[in-house]
Amino acid sequence: MPHSAPILADLLTRNRYALTAKSTPGIKESDVHDFDLHDIKILGIVQDNANVTIKEVAELVGLSQNACWKRIKSFEDRGVIKRRVTVLNPSSLGFHLIAFVNVKAAEHSEEWNTTFQQAVLSIPQVIEFYRLAGSVDYIIKVLLPDIAGFDSFYKVLTSKVRLTEVSTSFAVGNIAIQAPFPCLCH
């Protein structure tokens, strides 16, 4: 059982009433899901190991295989489980540099934003991409083999769309990667 399941269950219970379409702008009623402790346990298990069998999940949570399968299928259908992935070691594949690129938009029109987002998403080195509120408009996480790879990325990025300001920070060490949501780990 995920060690934080009771904490998550309490948060979900309290937030179930706070997160409604009426009280939270941008949240549709269909986006709010009810989860019981079995759901939380299942999500924690499959998040930690996407290759776990239905039989193993059923044994770990104390439900039948059919009940577990139906819940997992429901999570997939509702978008709770977006996809299943394998986490690779970037260094073993020759990617030794992680860059965090902060971008200030040249303008804030819908057309510019769409063009910029499409341009960034077309660059294969981009592994994460966020629009922000604050002193910068976007942050782009880029995985590269070396500084020359960053220079190539930068030239491609700045040639695709006009930008006001670009600043970059490079990771010098990895403290933690919390691939599974911490509150669902077991």
Residue 102 covered by a domain: yes
Q: What is the domain-level CATH number for residue 37?
A: 1.10.10.10
Range of the domain at 97: 91-170
Pair 74, 95 in one domain: no
Instruction: Count up the domains in the chain and report the number.
Output: 2
Q: Where are the alpha helices (DSSP H) in 22-138?
A: 37-48, 54-61, 65-78, 110-121
Answer with the residue of higher pLDDT: 127 or 85.
127
Tokens of 52: 């776990």
For the segment 78-106, what is each residue's pLDDT rounded down to a tens digit? 888 998 888 888 889 999 999 999 999 98
Pair 95, 166 in one domain: yes
Per-residue model confidence (pLDDT) at position 8:
52
Residue with structure tokens 């010098």?
Answer: 172
Nearest Cα residue to 37 out of 9, 10, 65, 13: 9
Pair 104, 164 in one domain: yes
pLDDT at 148 over 80: yes
Taking the CB of residue 102, how many other CB atoms lie within 10 A of it? Answer: 17
Residue 180 covered by a domain: no
Segment among 5-9, 146-150, 166-170 with least mean pLDDT: 5-9
Answer with the residue of higher pLDDT: 113 or 175.
113
Strands of the 138-144 sheet, one edge to the other: 126-131, 138-144, 97-105, 163-170
Residue 16 covered by a domain: yes
Q: List Cβ<8 Å contacts ≥24 apart for 80-89.
A: 80/33, 80/43, 81/43, 81/46, 84/46, 84/50, 85/50, 86/50, 87/179
Pair 29, 64 in one domain: yes
Longest dimension (CA), the chain: 57
Pair 110, 69 in one domain: no
Pair 30, 54 in one domain: yes
Residue 162 covered by a domain: yes
pTM of the model: 0.71
Residue 29 covered by a domain: yes
Nearest Cα residue to 184 out of 14, 42, 32: 42
Domain-terminating residue out of 78, 112, 139: 78
pLDDT at 56 over 60: yes
